[in-house]
A and B are shown apart, each in its own frame.
Chain A
Amino acid sequence: MLAYLIRRLFAAAVMLLVIILVVFSIFFLVPKWAGVDVATSFVGKQADPAAVQAVREKLGLSDPIYSQVWEFFKGIFAGRTYAAGGDVTRCAAPCFGYSFRSEQAVWPVLTDRFPVTLGLALGAAVLWLVFGVAAGVLSALKRGSLWDRGAMVVALGGVSLPIYFTGLLSLAIFSYGLKWIDAQYVPIGQSFTGWIGGMILPWITLAFLYAAMYARITRATMLEILGEDYIRTARAKGLREQTVIGKHAMRSTMTPILTMLGMDLGALIGGAILTETTFSLPGLGQKVLDAIKNQDLPFILGVTLITSLAVLIANLVVDILYAVIDPRVRLT
């Protein structure tokens, strides 16, 4: 188990290193090859050449590639100092650089926005796990019944309807129409109930989509597991049916659900762009959308790295849980 963990952690670290390298190459080298001058875009198109040259020197853009990569790495772990002549800017670790547009430091903005996205993803995940898995199990146990058919039709709807449709619909009904919910984002530190109020519609909208997928997977897996010999053995031992389902069948059913959860959570933490935009949540997704529109490379770089890290961590956690659930995994 320990060896398995160490191996996985090591693999994750190597993966992260590769991701940083690739992301760096894409966002810093490609503009260069494409003939886009990063320094000019930083200063603005009408700037005088001397200012552009100063910025180029300060950001180290004229340095050789390996030196730029090194500075970038060093910035993340030890901070870095931008200097051009007498103009010195100290950027403390972890330093992801400065926005080309607003000259804001990237890292504080990321840490500011990350909790919003994390809260959105985790809250929705709890909802969709509870309702999706429960609906799937019930459908499997009542296969062919009215409930099963109804649930699967609703699930099909959930999978097919886009977020901006269900999201706007829920906003129109519950926020503007019935005025039950004031769909305004409030930081959790300011007011807990306000935070819940602002998040509840995004949670439900996002969870509806995912719950639908999870219900279908759960149903299919549960039906398959119920046909397994070891379920018959569990009954032959004299176990209560609720133990047979809740313990023996559920444990096997959780395996594929967990795999999906790891990937979905990782991807969502990188920014649920549609949901955040629909509900005007100040999360990472919204920011990265802005950054892409403005060609604000340092932000794109920062969000990409955070996303990769989130996916890596989520997958690592899933792999560990996987090994806890299925003892055969430890061998591999």
Chain B
Amino acid sequence: MTEPSKIGAAVSEPVSDSPAPSSFLEVRDLKVHFPTDDGLVKSVDGLSFTLEKGKTLGIVGESGSGKSVTSLGIMGLHTAGQYGKRKAQISGEIWLNGTELLSADPEHVRKLRGREMAMIFQDPLSALHPYYTIGQQIVEAYRIHHDVDKKTARKRAIEMLDRVGIPQPDKRVDNYPHEFSGGMRQRAMIAMSLVNNPELLIADEPTTALDVTVQAQILDLIRDLQKEFGSAVIIITHDLGVVAELADDILVMYGGRCVERGPAEKVFYEPRHPYTWGLLGSMPRLDREQQERLIPVKGSPPSLINIPSGCAFNPRCPYADLPKDNVTRTVRPELTEVGSKHWAACHMTQEQRERIWTEEIAPKL
């Protein structure tokens, strides 16, 4: 907390006090900290990225890397309905369509929720209210932002259920969530989040709670709907296969920060951060010999209360001793450009990383 993060400074876009950015969504130096009995949990600690309309950003990382906290932060859900004494501490800037959300009137942000930005959650069974029908819940979502009668809203709900591929939508609209299968529930959740044509859709692990066969269907659906509605999508996952399927850009998070960010093909084929290498190594692939073992990332995710000094990944990094003067353990690496629109935060030199990737890592994958 002592030294201000300069992640943005390394990014080509100037961060400073410049007003409304040209991008559709721009997050600048976002920090979300939670005070607890054990200390300050720095779930997100200086995160910046941009997203254009019609594009998909995949945010990847282990559990506890700050992915979900980031998405809830964009939605303003850390501050809405916080009744305890310990409120989340949020700083930075979130620009959506020319409006800065963190300094905006909460009532204004509430009106943006559901209409301009919507969210799909991981487990649709617990994310839908068990006591209301699917139809009632979609109708409610629509009528918050549209001044229409219940009949019109119901028609719209049926239309949306039809659009997301629920058979007999005029009958299923009156079902309760427990009468739907897992995949159907997630479809209904998607229908509910898209009912107001939001320009930003955040999908937080949308397929994690589903069968593998259903996963592919849901991902296809999200992609189709994105094309149709032209919205920007943030897809949060720990599954690299999911982002490979959908994302234009990938942002890899570790310990509440971005360690690598760039176009999907760059991050997949020319990754420049040892943590990304680890993620790729731990991904099962069909074209690999079956006898070969997956290469897990050694160690466990860092404590978000005592984030390791220097590079947060250094205790788990096999190359931590390559840079000179023990710099990995003392200085926090900033994001530097390693290619066109491709950034990584690592103390190793470009040449070292290129060599390690092409000679040591890539052949094993």
Contact = CB atoms under 8 A, between A and B. Distances in A.
B110 interface: yes
B50 to A, nearest CB: 23
Interface in B93-120: 110-115, 118-119
B111 A238 contact: yes
Contacts of A212: none
Given A232-B77, A240-B110, A251 B131 contact: yes
Contacts of B52: none
Which has the most chain A C-beta neighbours within 10 Å: B80, B128, B131, B144? B131
Interface stretch (B81-89, B275-283, B284-292): B81-89
B353 to A, nearest CB: 39
A293 interface: no
Interface of B: 72, 75, 77, 80-81, 83-85, 110-115, 118-119, 121, 123, 126-131, 133, 140-141, 144-145, 176, 178, 192-193
Nearest to B128: A230
Nearest to A326: B131
A327 B176 CA distance: 7
Given A232-B77, A327-B176, A237 B127 contact: no
Contacts of B129: 230, 233-234, 248, 251-252
A144 B113 contact: no
Contacts of A251: 129, 131
A124 interface: no
Contacts of B83: 140-143, 226
A237 B144 contact: yes
Contact of B84 (A144, A241, A325): A144
A242 B264 CA distance: 42
B85 A236 contact: no
Contacts of B111: 238
A240 to B, nearest CB: 7
A11 B44 CA distance: 57
Contacts of B140: 237, 239
A229 B260 CA distance: 30
B176 A143 contact: no
Nearest to A142: B83
A235 B80 contact: yes
Given A140-B83, A226-B81, A327-B176, A238 B126 contact: no
Nearest to A144: B85
B127 A143 contact: no
Given A230-B128, A232-B121, A238 B81 contact: no
18 contacts: A141-B83, A143-B83, A229-B126, A230-B129, A232-B127, A233-B127, A234-B129, A236-B118, A236-B121, A237-B114, A237-B144, A238-B111, A238-B112, A239-B140, A241-B80, A252-B129, A327-B178, A328-B176
A244 interface: yes
Contacts of B113: 235-238
A241 B106 CA distance: 11
Nearest to B133: A327
Nearest to B189: A233
Give the one of B72, B112, B118, B140 with max A CB within 10 A: B140
Contacts of A235: 77, 80-81, 113
A156 interface: no
A127 interface: no
Contacts of A140: 83
Interface residues of A, number: 29
Q: What are the nearest 4 A-B pairs in CB distance? A: A238-B114, A238-B113, A229-B126, A237-B114
Contacts of A239: 110, 114, 140, 144
A103 interface: no
B81 A231 contact: yes
B119 A236 contact: yes
Given A228-B126, A229-B127, A238 B144 contact: yes
Contacts of A248: 129
Interface string A196-231: 000000000000000000000000000000101111
Interface string A137-153: 00011111100000000
Contacts of A234: 129
Contact of A237 (B81, B123, B126, B141): B141
B131 A236 contact: no
A213 B276 CA distance: 54
Contacts of B72: 232
Given A226-B81, A229-B121, A241-B81, A236 B128 contact: no
A328 B80 contact: no
Nearest to A223: B83
A153 to B, nearest CB: 18
A230 B130 contact: yes
A145 B83 CA distance: 10
Contacts of A144: 84-85
Given A238-B111, A238-B113, A240-B110, A233 B81 contact: no
A143 B81 contact: no
Interface in A41-96: none
Contacts of B178: 327-328
B131 A244 contact: no
Interface string A142-185: 11110000000000000000000000000000000000000000
Given A144-B84, A232-B121, A237-B140, 15 more contacts: A140-B83, A141-B83, A229-B126, A230-B129, A233-B128, A235-B77, A236-B77, A236-B119, A236-B121, A237-B192, A248-B129, A252-B130, A327-B130, A327-B131, A327-B133
Interface in A311-332: 325-328
B110 A238 contact: yes
A313 to B, nearest CB: 25
Contact of A244 (B81, B119, B192): B81
A25 B176 CA distance: 47
A328 to B, nearest CB: 5
A241 B110 CA distance: 9
Nearest to B113: A238
